[in-house]
């Protein structure tokens, strides 16, 4: 049993690493912004194809986090009520539900609207009156990616303290550091990794 739990922990952690996509998506969209017009050429087709084809893999990683996380709770003998009695676990669970909801919104509503506006242009540069509509939808998607990045980092930080909680001030300090890093990833191409 101990070996199985160890393997499950490795799967859970590797899966968390693979959930770093929102960070790299922010790098990609910030680089696109630096490139400037025209909007609607092959660069945008390339970027949109990469972004929209990450949705299904993201659902798979979210599902893996949920299943491996809940399995760890049960195999460690904690029972499902730990989601109510253990604050770190309860928060991890709720935050995962939040990013599943956000991804569903992007997949079912936001991305199809972006795709429709680009396909109106039929592979040619987007008309000046359509460009701001695409810009607004892309901005909303970028903000959602930042929330996802913040959540994945926070849920990982909470994962380390599931069975031995940090002090409140330490958790608060780490959350502030995560907010600062997420803000930096939102605003820049993070040329030096952390900054």
58 near ligand HEM, rule: CB under 6 A: no
Which range, of 7-15, 24-32, 101-109, 115-123, touches ligand HEM by CB under 6 A? 7-15
Which residues does 144 contact at the CB level (< 8 Å), separation at least 6? 102, 105, 106, 110
CB within 8 Å of 172: residues ≥ 6 apart:
none
**Shortest CB 3 distance to ligand HEM, Å:** 13
Return the range that interacts with ligand HEM (CB under 6 A); candidates 47-55, 133-141, 156-164, 166-174.
Answer: 156-164
Binding mask 9-38 for ligand HEM (x = CB under 6 A): x--xx--x--x-------------------
Which residue number, 139 or 177, has a Cβ lying nearer to ligand HEM?
Answer: 177
> Taking Cα atoms as reference points, which of 20, 91, 32, 110 lies closest to residue 58?
20
- Angle (nearest 5°) at CA 153 between 100 and 75: 70
Stretch that binds ligand HEM, among 102-110, 132-140, 149-157, 180-188 (CB under 6 A): 149-157
CB of residue 154 vs ligand HEM: minimum separation in angstroms? 9
Least distance (Å) from ligand HEM to the CB of residue 101? 13
Q: How many CB atoms lie within 10 A of CB 89?
A: 23
Tokens of 67: 């299943």
Q: What contacts 84, CB < 8 A, 6 or more positions away?
A: 90
**Radius of gyration of the chain measured on its C-alpha atoms:** 19
Q: Which residues bind ligand HEM (CB under 6 A)?
A: 9, 12-13, 16, 19, 65-66, 69-70, 72-73, 76, 89, 92-93, 96, 152, 155-156, 159-160, 162
């Amino acid at each position: 049993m101990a070996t199985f739990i160890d393997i499950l922990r490795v799967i859970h952690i590797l899966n968390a690493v693979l959930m770093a996509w929102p960070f790299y998506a922010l790098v990609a969209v910030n680089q696109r912004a630096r490139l400037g017009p025209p909007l609607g050429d092959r660069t945008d087709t390339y970027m949109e194809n990469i972004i929209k084809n990450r949705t299904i893999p993201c659902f798979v990683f979210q599902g893996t986090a949920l299943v491996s996380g809940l399995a760890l709770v049960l195999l460690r003998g904690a029972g499902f009520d730990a989601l109510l009695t253990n604050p770190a676990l309860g928060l991890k669970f709720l935050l995962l539900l939040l990013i599943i909801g956000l991804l569903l919104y992007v997949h079912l509503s936001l991305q199809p609207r972006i795709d429709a506006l680009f396909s109106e242009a039929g592979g040619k540069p987007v008309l000046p009156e359509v460009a701001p509509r695409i810009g607004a939808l892309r901005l909303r998607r970028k903000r959602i990616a930042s929330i996802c990045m913040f959540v994945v980092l926070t849920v990982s930080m909470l994962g380390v303290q599931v069975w031995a909680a940090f002090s409140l001030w330490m958790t608060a300090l780490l959350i502030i550091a995560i907010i600062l890093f997420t803000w930096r990833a939102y605003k820049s191409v993070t040329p030096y990794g952390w900054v």
